[in-house]
Amino acid sequence: MAKRYSTSTVRSDGGIVPWLAAEGPLAYSPENPPESNYFFQYSWLMPSVYRDKRHYYFGKPSSLSRGDFGWGIEPFVDFWSKARAGAVAPIYVVMGGKYDGGFAAPIACYRYQTGWDNRDMYLLIQHGSYLDFDVAEQPLIKDGLLMLFRGVGRKQKFCWRTLEDLSPNQDRILQRYFDAHERAFSDAVVSFQVAHALVCRCETGFLQCELCWTDVAREVGLDREQGPLARLLKSVPRQSFTLVQRMAEGKFGPNYVRCTTPINNVRITSFFAGECEVTVIDPRKVEIRTQRLGKSTYACERRSGGSLT
């Protein structure tokens, strides 16, 4: 089935928007919300992403015609209802693209209140993918930083390679890696598939993720690069972090590592599984906030009351 609308996310000046498109009906945003819920039905907007013809509001099997929306889309329905009422506040709206030796991801962050108790929430938006979480989970967002957590089971050490003093050839490989990200973010359909192809699980069985990171890497020639740096960079998009500490402690713990990275250095993933996960773009911009044991080795924290033994 052909696409009804453009899903190119690249503006005329080369900047990459965090919305479903840079222009046309899908270029809606919380400041300019669509009048119709039709534009939240992804199987009409991005039909090649799905295996069947069910309704997929906000990318999930669901319906807005029932009181019970199903599949956890209520927060997004609520957010856009508040956006139409002017009751959401932009925190960051960042255009993406290559810059001096690196790449910035397009992403938007909004704050709003929800629920009977008017909980303060953040919502991240990136090419049709969403993550929502309590404001208290991310106290550094106001400084442009996300706190990342990685559960490591019972391991006591965590390794994260630092990229320092790169040779000209290594820098060329790094730039090709950023080319792959630029390609992956240049179209909302490609971006959505790449984001979720790496986390295929029961929650994503309805997706047709035939286009994945490996295909994008092949398009720009990254797949042909060899050596330790190339292998490292090819693995980075497969390494997930959660934005919620209790997820790292409970589901993937008890031991975990705490990091920070700029808000425009992440790709939203695991959107459907509820684990509030992202992957990082530039590994140089991940700062480990735990004790450093060696050049690339760090001590792990542990769940409160847990044991490292």
Distance CA 129, CA 279 (A): 13
Is the previous residue joined to 254 through a cis bond, with omega within 30 degrees of 0?
yes
Query: For residues 34-52, b (16+ Cβ closer than 10 Å) or e, as one string?
Result: beeeebbbbbbbbbebbee
In a domain, 16, yes or no: no
Please report where in the chains the tokens 């991801």 appear, as a residue. Answer: 105
In a domain, 216, yes or no: yes
Distance CA 223, CA 221 (A): 5
Per-residue pLDDT band at 183 (split at 50, 70, 90): very high
Query: In percent, how much of the chain has pLDDT > 90?
Result: 47
In a domain, 2, yes or no: no
Q: What is the DSSP letter of 199?
A: T
Q: SS3 for 286?
A: coil
Per-residue pLDDT band at 308 (split at 50, 70, 90): very low
More confidently predicted of 41 and 274? 41
Tell me what the mean pLDDT of segment 133-140 comes to: 96
Tell me what the mean pLDDT of segment 209-228 comes to: 83
pLDDT of 77: 82
Question: Domain containing 99: what range?
Answer: 25-302
Domain count, the chain: 1
The neighbouring-strand residues paired with 29 are 32
Tell me what the mean pLDDT of segment 281-302 comes to: 87
User: Does residue 264 register a pLDDT over 90?
Assistant: yes
pLDDT of 98: 93
In a domain, 65, yes or no: yes
In a domain, 14, yes or no: no
In a domain, 99, yes or no: yes
Tell me what the mean pLDDT of segment 139-162 comes to: 91
pTM score: 0.88
In a domain, 77, yes or no: yes
**pLDDT per position as a tens digit, 244-259:** 998 888 877 788 899 9
In a domain, 7, yes or no: no
